[in-house]
């Protein structure tokens, strides 16, 4: 059966659920890059291929349960994110050093401890650092985030889902997403600043 | 109402950016940041952080993995490997 180019995700999912294999191939082709990128950001490049494969197999096996109450993309992200979180939970190795140390610091009056020059350095990390070095450190930094913060930050800020969509994917309240994303941004902002030369 | 210092500004920043802050508090925060070099610098770097991390972790899916994914899905469905 020919698959029209303009078919929506939801229409493809319905066809795939009825046994149209080409429709599911089209879903895989349409989403494979996004799913791979999500997997890399969640578990790192070494484990990402396993998450991609497990995620798509799980999506395929669960097609009959897709109820069209959420967007197909949100439903797919939920399944792949859960596959990634299972990988993270199965790890025995944990990051040795938390990123908490990079949270902003204030004096007794509640004023930023760092100077304006130090505070703005993080905004220029991509200009100040070698691209490959920054890529390696960015991946390592994501790995050092607590899992709850990592999943919220990756979905909201890196995959650019809305706060409501992230809440739906993670099964938490939007306020919880905002709190986790904010905390992750604060830690990563401080980390980028330190990486670009700000002493702490 | 809460007096804005740098720390409270940081605590409230997410609600500010998501448009969840009452107008009066929003105006207070705007006023504080406009007059505080440290907060201006902090906000600029806070806003840049997602973009920098997004660009730095934008991996491309290897072609071999694209091929193997389709093969795995076809095997799962029982329609076997596709001939090139």
The minimal CB distance from B10 to the residues A32, A33, A104 is found for A104
pLDDT at A191: 96
pTM: 0.92
**Between residues B83 and B22, the one the model is more confident about:** B22
A106, β-bridge pairs? A112
Q: What is the least distance, in Å, from the CA of A65 to any CA of chain B? A: 17
**Contact (Cβ atoms closer than 8 angstroms) between residue A165 and residue A144:** no
pLDDT at A92: 72
Q: What digits encode the pLDDT tens for the residues A37-69?
A: 999 999 999 999 999 999 999 999 999 899 878
Do B50 and A121 count as a contact with CB atoms less than 8 A apart? Answer: no
**How large is the ipTM?**
0.91
Query: Chain B interface residues facing chain A, Cβ-Cβ under 8 Å?
Result: 5-8, 10, 13-15, 18, 37-42, 44-50, 52-61, 65-66, 68-70, 72-74, 76-77, 79
Confidence of residue A93 (pLDDT cuts 50, 70, 90): low
Chain-centre distance of CA A19, in angstroms? 31
| Domains of chain A: residue spans and CATH | 9-90 (1.10.1740.10), 99-195 (1.10.10.10)
> Both tokens of residue B11?
């605590």
Decide: helix, strand or coil at residue A112.
Answer: strand
Structural domain boundaries in chain B:
6-77
Q: How far apart are CA A24 and CA A30, in angstroms?
A: 10
When pLDDT is cut at 50, 70 and 90, the band that residue B79 belongs to is: confident
Residues B6-77, CATH architecture: Orthogonal Bundle (1.10)
A57 vs B contacts (CB less than 8 Å): 72-73, 76
- Secondary structure of residue B12 in the 3-state scheme: helix
Contact between B77 and A56 using a beta-carbon 8 Å cutoff: no
């Amino acid at each position: 059966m020919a698959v029209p180019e303009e078919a929506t995700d939801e229409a493809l999912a319905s066809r795939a659920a009825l046994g149209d294999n080409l429709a599911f191939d089209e879903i895989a082709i349409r989403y494979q890059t996004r799913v791979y990128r999500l997997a890399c950001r969640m578990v790192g490049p070494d484990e990402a291929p396993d998450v991609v494969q497990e995620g798509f197999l799980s999506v395929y096996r669960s097609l009959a349960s897709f109820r069209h109450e959420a967007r197909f993309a949100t439903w797919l992200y939920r399944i792949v994110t859960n596959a990634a979180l299972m990988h993270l939970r199965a790890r025995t190795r944990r990051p040795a050093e938390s990123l908490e140390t990079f949270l902003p610091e204030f004096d007794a009056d509640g004023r930023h401890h760092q100077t304006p020059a130090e505070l703005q350095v993080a905004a220029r990390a991509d200009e100040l650092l070698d691209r490959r070095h920054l890529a390696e450190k960015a991946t390592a930094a994501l790995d050092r985030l607590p899992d709850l913060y990592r999943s919220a930050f990756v979905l909201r800020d890196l995959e650019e889902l809305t706060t409501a969509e992230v809440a739906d994917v993670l099964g938490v309240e939007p306020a919880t997403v905002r709190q986790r994303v904010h905390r992750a941004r604060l830690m990563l902002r401080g980390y980028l600043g330190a990486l670009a030369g700000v002493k702490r | 109402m809460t007096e804005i210092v740098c720390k409270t500004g940081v605590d409230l920043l997410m609600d500010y950016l998501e448009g969840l802050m009452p107008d009066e508090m929003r105006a207070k925060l705007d006023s504080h940041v406009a007059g505080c070099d440290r907060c201006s610098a902090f906000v600029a770097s806070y806003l840049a952080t997602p973009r920098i991390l997004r660009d730095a972790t934008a991996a491309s899916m290897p072609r071999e993995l694209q091929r193997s994914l389709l093969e795995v899905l076809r095997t799962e469905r029982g329609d076997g490997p596709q001939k090139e």
